[in-house]
Amino acid sequence: MVLDTTLRDGEQTPGVSLSVEQKLMIAEALDRLGVDIIEAGTAIASEGDFNAIKEISNAGLKAEICSFARIKKVDIDAAADANADSIFMVAPSSPIHISTKFPGKSEDDVIAMAVEAVEYAKERGLIVEFGGEDASRADLGFIKRLFAAAVDAGADRLTFADTVGVLTPEKSEAIMKELCSEFDVPIAIHCHDDFGLANINTVYAVKGGAKEFHATVNGLGERAGNAALEEVVMTLEVLYGIETNINKQNIYNTSKLVEKITGVALPLNKPIVGENAFTHESGIHTSAILRNSSAYEPITPEMVGRKRHLVLGKHAGRASVEAVMKEFGYKATEEQMKEILKRIKDMGDKGKRVTDADVRTIIETVLQVKREKRVVLEDLSIVSGMNIMPTASVKLKINGKEIIEAAIGLGPVDAAINAIKKAVKEFGDIELVSYRVDAITGGTDALVDVIVQLRRGDRIVTARGARTDIIMASVEAMLEGLNMLI
């Protein structure tokens, strides 16, 4: 089973705070993803968390809805009153946690408090998953006594929590084997990534017999984060042959939704869901990929709901250029191909990121193809100020037809892009996948380089705009990309 704690541990990522509506959107996506248990928050923490858990519990989702709780009756009451199906209740189990949270209390005192809390939770009709907090720094003999008492009191599941990420894979597997041999109820593993071992510790715990693991989408969580759901699932299923209930084709869309709502950007090279995970530039690699994708990809991008992306730069080879030209419907002589490759490599050697629009311009210049732009900017005006919502009005000529649209945004750039997207909506849903800006020179009159990534359906393109005016640079990049998509 998979317990997803994006809405609880994940929300504890510094700078992340989710509204009830945002939590419900993520919960619905997690349900479509196929997670077994959604830890929707901590009911006692705030009115917002209580309302979110209640909304999610009443949303008719297939997943079990869980609230985090301490071994306190007020926490249990809040979870039950929010209509949660279950609670993940934790008791401090290491000496440092017991002395810090319950000064003067002994291990036996903690056991007695845990038993009382579990029994009360069962009286309130809750499924109880009981965990030892900081179990990886606790005496294993005490963990066994604590777990045995919790099970006798009615706990349905147990969790071994590596709260500060100090487990190693070998210990994770060995401890789980020992615990699973002594308890008949399912045992879960909950890992943090302080040493970068959360994913592998989780995998080894499952190897050792854990029937459930806790994780977050994109590895969100306080400090260095938690085990990343997408990485653990794919490792278990592809490398270890251990199946989960996760709908793998929904992994990428769920990841992008969480990234957008939380505002926590993913590293480009993040496994499985990072933008570069299925992107190829090297000429040698691209040539092989085009013949047999498994040559340089351990899994297909389609498996996780993605598409392969070939990019051109200083490492470009003939095969990748030919693939791009085929997409554009162009053919080149041997000499023209050499010149196209040379210009692309020269651009890359100068430290520039070569966008799809750059490649198309190079190809059409060498082939002397004159292409009329289908999307042309005729006018743009922006209104912005301290007490004014930024508003943009844009006039475009699209395939000879004049279109005027206006939109608001969080800033003038956002407003301008929103207005352009409204103007081209009849051609399909154009999604701005990424937006990046760099100052090429110093000073307030700096030349800025804006690179956007746009998606229409399954097709993604990159385009550039370079101006001293960041708004115009952004608009120029958008129009370049649109001219490739429309």
Task: Supply the pLDDT for residue 441.
Answer: 59
pLDDT of 335 > 60? The answer is: yes
Q: Are strands 157-162 and 127-133 parallel, antiparallel or unpaired?
A: parallel
Could you tell me which residue, 306 or 405, shows the higher pLDDT? 405
For residue range 54-104, what is the model confidence (pLDDT) as tens digits?
Answer: 999 999 999 999 999 999 999 999 999 999 999 999 999 999 999 999 998
> Confidence class of residue 286 from pLDDT cuts 50, 70 and 90?
very low
Domains of the chain (ranges, CATH numbers): 2-262 (3.20.20.70), 279-367 (1.10.238), 375-485 (3.30.160.270)
**Closest by CA position to 438, among listed 484, 474, 392, 478:** 474
Question: Which residues have C-beta within 8 Å of that of residue 396, sequence separation ≥ 6?
Answer: 375, 376, 377, 378, 402, 403, 404, 405, 420, 423, 424
> Confidence class of residue 290 from pLDDT cuts 50, 70 and 90?
low
DSSP 269: T
pLDDT of 453 > 90? The answer is: no
* Bridge partner list, 382: 392
pLDDT of 257 > 50? The answer is: yes
For residue range 94-126, what is the model confidence (pLDDT) as tens digits?
Answer: 999 999 999 988 999 999 999 999 999 999 999
Task: Supply the pLDDT for residue 388.
Answer: 84
Task: Supply the pLDDT for residue 134.
Answer: 95
Let me know if 389 is exposed, middle or buried by CB neighbors in 10 A (0-12, 13-18, 19+). Answer: exposed
Task: Supply the pLDDT for residue 280.
Answer: 61
Q: Do 336 and 366 form a contact (C-beta atoms < 8 A)?
A: yes
Task: Supply the pLDDT for residue 435.
Answer: 85
Q: Do 317 and 282 form a contact (C-beta atoms < 8 A)?
A: yes
Locate 35 and state its tokens: 């997670």
Q: How far apart are CA 204 and CA 187, in angstroms?
A: 13
- Within 353-429, strands assigned E span 375-385, 388-398, 401-408
Average pLDDT over the chain, rounded to whole? Answer: 88
Length of the chain: 486
Q: How far apart are CA 411 and CA 393, in angstroms?
A: 13
Could you tell me which residue, 480 or 65, shows the higher pLDDT? 65
Could you tell me which residue, 146 or 306, shows the higher pLDDT? 146
Q: How many Cβ atoms sit within 10 Å of the Cβ of residue 410?
A: 10
pLDDT of 482 > 50? The answer is: yes
For residue range 194-226, what is the model confidence (pLDDT) as tens digits?
Answer: 999 999 999 999 999 999 999 999 999 999 999
Name the pTM for this structure: 0.76
Task: Supply the pLDDT for residue 314.
Answer: 62
Q: How many Cβ atoms sit within 10 Å of the Cβ of residue 478?
A: 26
Task: Supply the pLDDT for residue 448.
Answer: 79
What's the sign of the alpha-carbon dihedral 315, 317, 323, 327?
positive
